[in-house]
Structure 1
């Protein structure tokens, strides 16, 4: 954001003022006999940086899925893809987790189908339920499929909830050809510009393979400024 590359025969070049971290999976949708379920784990919740999740410990039992009780006396096992797990409803912290992530703007239909598994199981569930798509390279000369160029790639299913970090650098720490940056004058204004572009990501997407519908995302919520993130400092 607000950066540019060094041109041919030109001097300079300017790094962007907004830096985006890698995105991490927070809640992952999985097919089951009860319809889609959204699964998370303690490690993913702790990594969000939300204070209430920082002390979240391991689950009481590692080989089960914790869900909200649905009113039936006996909870039948639940399949998450190919994995069949016993269901438990007695983990008290599940309700607190649901309330906290609701504040982040996560839709109610996800929260009502939320399940929590151990960190180890979460890794297997995500890796086993990615979408595998098959495609073929196109010969740019003929416009037809290129022989021997069939390939597959993995994609996260629609409805995956991701989280990441945005670092907004202070423009006063940078110069362009010895001149001050004029587009914005504070980290907060850098973040305002980024937030103003959020609505475009849902329709135009971000990253590669946009013509195939990849990279489209909806920004649900952004973290408010912490006390340490005051004007003159970089904002995350």
Structure 2
């Protein structure tokens, strides 16, 4: 029996995000599987193409699984670093299902925010990392998705409020709540914005904190608000890395969430 894990991320073309944040999560996951070989894969074809142009070759999930088979791996675990059950997760699951009969054992891990308890733990972690400041709102900006898993974002805001953090609002770049819905809830003149994403990559740099006319920072400032942006992805935070480790331990015990 040869065991291995492939850690699958969307990927990032921003070098600091890739090296400091994705890699930090990968190392945390590897620490929970010391007896297994470790592989890395990115799901974004665009990111893989950009990195190839820089001389960095990172395989797709299919390519990583093929390499594992070639290397004689019999028992494999596919662990995504993705935050939600969304479109990307569904695609990965279809890939894993297609390879299931080619391994003696092939397990597929869950995303970071898979359960209500995950959301409660995330809210507690972020509340501690970003304490309340009088007269200031705290806005977390996620990616958003057309998938029904987008309900995680408003659910997370409700959990913050139930934990006593009514100053926290959640928005999304490509989903709901949108800028207009977040803006309508703001009743202060200052705010901090933090990416609710694994990495502080292109979306955080440009859509959240950029100077372009569509960036949230610029739109808030044009509305007369003072804005501070924090460019740190969730992957850089040790307590978040521990949530991924907790999911690995759950799989190792044979427990399933679904």
Check whether TM > 0.5. no
Task: Tell me which interval the TM-score lies in, with the shorter structure as reference length.
Answer: under 0.3
Tell which structure's C-alpha radius of gyration is larger: 1
Taking structure 1 as the reference length, what is the TM-score of the superposition? 0.21
| Bigger share in strand | 1
Taking structure 2 as the reference length, what is the TM-score of the superposition? 0.19
